[in-house]
Amino acid sequence: MEKVIIIKYGELTLKKKNKNFFLKSLRDNVIHMLKDINHEVYYDFGRMFIYVDENDLEKTVLLLKKVFGIYEIIIGYKAEDRDIENIKRIILNLVEEKEFNSFRVSTKRSDKTYPITSMEVNRIVAGEILKKIPGIHVDIHTPNLTIYIEIRNEEVLFYFDGIKALGGYPVGTLGKGLLMLSGGIDSPVAGYMAIKKGIKIEAIYFESPPHTSEQAKNKVMALARKLAEYNTTVKLHVINFTEIQETILKNIPKDYLITIMRRMMYRISAIVASRSRANVLINGESIGQVASQTLTSMKVINEVVKLPVIRPLACFDKSEIMEVARKIDTYDISILPYEDCCTVFVPTHPVINPVSQKCIEFEALIPWEELIYKAISKHEVIKLEKDYNDNSYDDLL
């Protein structure tokens, strides 16, 4: 009997008008994820069906566990002979391997011309199981085992409850966002959460060579590659921030260094975002974590851009952020020791409640517009793909 992977969409099905668009996007994302596996994909409004070689089944399920928009992954069985005797025989075979003491049968008949009603199939199959397996009973409300039978036009499907998947929306269905990606723990997690909501991300990284090393950049690329597992690919914009940072350091009072530096990062990010047709900026800021993440700081820094800034971690504790980082496998990369461009210049007493007017006055001391456009004109773009030799996803099962 042929095995088939059945995918349930969950929340997606609520998006009535855009359903087709959502499903096509999901199908494309699935196809991209399975590009190294020989497979066939079919879908209707209720679910998606994926056929692969039996040997690729396990790997396929693991890969699908990283596709947003999928709520449940089920390995089912397909039979072409829809005769009730065949259905009974198959079910008895399948439940033989299961341990359970209560069960229910749930039949769906999408082919209404099938001569036996769903209720009747439930009754016939349940009767057969009770007859053959001693010591079990039917429990409609809280069974150990639910047996699903689906009678379709040309086939019957059999399955049990599946594996819970990531949920969320298919990547790209909510448009594009630009993630400010540092080498830290927070920003990759923020990126992951934005991707979960259907935002296709591009990333921007500010480096300050020689104050930051090539390894620091490699680390950011490794993080982007991890995010590519969920995002299909990640386009990383690398901005050389050295001249801006050195100019700030020379001309701006120490307590305002970080505030001004971050205003410059925001400005550059907003320009790169609009050139890439990204509608929002995304970053890993979390309220109260450091001086630049007080509400006053956020306000004063945010003032320099018009784009909405999404901060998925705004209300998360560090321990909650770390938990997600471990789950998505970015934690071990993030804790590698290489300096990022903020820590190199971090002053001992940054201002906690910066004032906008002061920022404007200090910024007037440097030719920041010229510096910003110079940095953008030289920016490097790197396209990162998921590392297909990396097998570290098995712990997600």
Q: Which residues are at the interface with ligand ATP (CB under 6 A)?
A: 180-182, 184-187, 204-206, 283-285, 289-290, 292, 340-342
Beta bridge partners of 40: 51
Q: Rounded to whole angstroms, how far apart are CA atoms 153 and 166?
A: 30
Residue 208 binds Mg ion (CB under 5 A): no
Q: Rounded to whole angstroms, how far apart are CA atoms 167 and 261?
A: 37
Q: Between 47 and 311, whose beta carbon lies closer to ligand ATP? A: 311
C-beta of 229: minimal distance to Mg ion in Å? 22
Residues in the chain: 397
Residue 10 DSSP class: G
Q: Residue 284 touches which of ligand ATP, Mg ion, none (CB < 5 to 8 A by kind)?
A: ligand ATP
C-beta of 375: minimal distance to ligand ATP in Å? 12
Q: Rounded to whole angstroms, how far apart are CA atoms 22 and 349?
A: 48
Q: Between 103 and 206, whose beta carbon lies closer to ligand ATP? A: 206
Which stretch in 11-19, 47-55, 183-191, 226-234 sits in contact with Mg ion by CB under 5 A?
Answer: 183-191
Identify the sign of the CA torsion 173, 174, 175, 176: negative
Q: Between 104 and 196, whose beta carbon lies closer to ligand ATP? A: 196
312 preceded by cis ω (within 30°)?
A: no
Return the residue matching tokens 């099962």.
397
Beta bridge partners of 163: 73
C-beta of 268: minimal distance to ligand ATP in Å? 10
C-beta of 358: minimal distance to ligand ATP in Å? 20
Q: Between 107 and 208, whose beta carbon lies closer to ligand ATP? A: 208
Q: Between 107 and 334, whose beta carbon lies closer to ligand ATP? A: 334
Q: Residue 187 touches which of Mg ion, ligand ATP, none (CB < 5 to 8 A by kind)?
A: ligand ATP
Q: Rounded to whole angstroms, how far apart are CA atoms 6 and 274?
A: 39
Residue 325: count other Cβ atoms within 10 Å of its Cβ.
23
Give the 3-state secondary structure of 185-250.
Answer: CHHHHHHHHHHHECCEEEEEEEECCCCCCHHHHHHHHHHHHHHHHHHCEEEEEEEECHHHHHHHHH
Q: Residue 285 touches which of Mg ion, ligand ATP, none (CB < 5 to 8 A by kind)?
A: ligand ATP
Which stretch in 62-70, 178-186, 242-250, 310-318 sits in contact with Mg ion by CB under 5 A?
Answer: 178-186
Q: Give CA angle at 314 (310, 320), nearest 5°.
A: 125
C-beta of 39: minimal distance to ligand ATP in Å? 36
Q: For residue 35, is it left (φ>0), alpha (ψ between -120 and 50) or beta?
A: alpha
Q: Which of 184, 198, 312, 354 binds Mg ion (CB under 5 A)?
A: 184
Q: And the tokens for 303?
A: 């003032």
C-beta of 167: minimal distance to ligand ATP in Å? 24
Q: Between 117 and 215, whose beta carbon lies closer to ligand ATP? A: 215
Contact 27, 49 (CB under 8 A): no
Residue 330 binds Mg ion (CB under 5 A): no
Q: Residue 341 touches which of Mg ion, ligand ATP, none (CB < 5 to 8 A by kind)?
A: ligand ATP
**Run of H or E residues at 364:** none
C-beta of 291: minimal distance to ligand ATP in Å? 9
Q: Residue 224 touches which of Mg ion, ligand ATP, none (CB < 5 to 8 A by kind)?
A: none
Q: Between 78 and 217, whose beta carbon lies closer to ligand ATP? A: 217
DSSP helix/strand/coil, 64: helix
Residue 182 binds Mg ion (CB under 5 A): yes
Q: Between 151 and 239, whose beta carbon lies closer to ligand ATP? A: 239
C-beta of 182: minimal distance to Mg ion in Å? 4
Contact 110, 191 (CB under 8 A): no
DSSP helix/strand/coil, 263: helix
Minimal CB distance to ligand ATP: which residue?
Answer: 184
Q: Between 26 and 201, whose beta carbon lies closer to ligand ATP? A: 201
User: Residue numbers of the site for Mg ion (CB under 5 A)?
Assistant: 182, 184
